[in-house]
């Protein structure tokens, strides 16, 4: 019996605006894309924010990923999505407002996107 390899869903993110002045907010948006002709379940990722960045108050957090649970508490330092589902050939988004109380450059690296189709 032969198995066909399938591409895993992809995760991208962006900040808007891309620069945050001290005390200002930026919307952090994640896009999850499923380019395969079958649905995926079990979508999950965690994004620990840099030490000098926190989730804004209000967080204005939301997702249109089916069945997903989003955790993004105001003042917190980690954004987490779990138990998401995505139909074939589609995408969904997660957005959270973040703030940075101090000036300077920050680097934000997300953890792996996991699903029943792999990482």
User: Rounded to an integer, what distance in angstroms lies between the CA atom of residue 61 and that of residue 55?
Assistant: 9
The whole-model pTM stands at: 0.88
User: Rounded to an integer, what distance in angstroms lies between the CA atom of residue 69 and that of residue 51?
Assistant: 24
Exposed e or buried b for every residue in 44-81, given b needs 16+ CB within 10 A?
bbebebeeebbbbeebebebebeebebebeeeeeebbb
Q: Which helix (H) or strand (E) holds 15?
A: strand 10-16
Q: What confidence tens digit (pLDDT) does each residue in 2-32 have?
A: 445 567 899 999 999 988 888 899 999 999 9
Across 73-99, average pLDDT: 96
Q: What confidence tens digit (pLDDT) does each residue in 57-68 have?
A: 999 999 999 999
Whether the per-residue pLDDT at 117 is higher than 50: the answer is yes
DSSP assignment of 27-47: EEEEEEEE-SSS-EEEEEEEE
């Amino acid at each position: 019996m032969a198995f066909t390899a399938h591409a895993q869903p992809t995760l991208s993110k962006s900040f808007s605006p891309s620069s945050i002045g001290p005390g200002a907010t930026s919307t952090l948006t994640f896009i999850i894309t499923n380019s395969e002709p079958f649905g995926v379940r079990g979508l999950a990722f965690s994004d620990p924010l840099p030490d000098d960045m926190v989730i804004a108050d209000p967080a204005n957090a939301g997702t249109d990923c089916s069945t997903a649970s989003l955790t993004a508490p105001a003042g917190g330092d980690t954004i987490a999505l779990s138990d998401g589902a995505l139909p074939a050939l589609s995408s969904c988004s997660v957005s959270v407002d973040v703030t940075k109380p101090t000036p300077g450059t920050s680097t934000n690296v997300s953890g792996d996107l996991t699903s029943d189709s792999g990482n």
